[in-house]
Every structure is written in C-alpha cells, then in structure tokens.
Amino acid sequence: MFGVVRKGACLMNPAIRAVSLQKATIVSGPPRYRVSFAEKAALGFVMCAVSCAPGLWILAHIQDYRGIRVTKE
C-alpha cells in the first residue's frame, strides 16, 4: 500500500512543482487610463468622510450614550 502512495506522489511531483514555482509578473510603465485630479480629489474626500463619520457621530452623541440629557430651554 505504501508503495502505491509513494509512486503516486512521485508522479504528481512535477505537477505540484509547476504550481508552487510560478513567478509573479510585474507590470511597469505608464497606466492604461489616466485618472483626473478632480476624480482623485473627490474619491479622497469621500473616503475620508466615510472613515471619519462613525467617530464624529459618536462624539456628537456622547452625552446620549452617557445618559446625560441636555435640553435646550
């Protein structure tokens, strides 16, 4: 039984070696499509706003979370 497994492993060895030794390709050069500065700025603003929004919401409502209700009279 061990001989069959060993023979199968030897036969599969080239296939396993080909999969494990693949090289990553590095593409260098100018980009295919140029992205305008306005689009980059808009995307940066949206990403910043989305990442800051939860923290700002919590800071704005911290008194509600602590149980302190401030009423304007």
Q: What is the pLDDT of residue 14?
A: 63
Measured in degrees and rounded to the nearest 5, phi and psi for residue 27 equal -100, 120
Distances (CA, A) of 4 to 7, 15, 34, 35: 5, 18, 57, 58
Chain centre to alpha carbon of residue 43: 16
Q: State how far the Cα of 36 lies from the Cα of 52, in Å rounded to an integer.
A: 24
What pLDDT, in 10s, does the model give residues 1-52?
A: 667 666 666 676 665 655 555 567 777 888 889 999 999 999 999 999 999 9
Identify which has the larger pLDDT, 71 or 61: 61
Distances (CA, A) of 9 to 1, 15, 20, 51, 59: 13, 10, 15, 50, 61
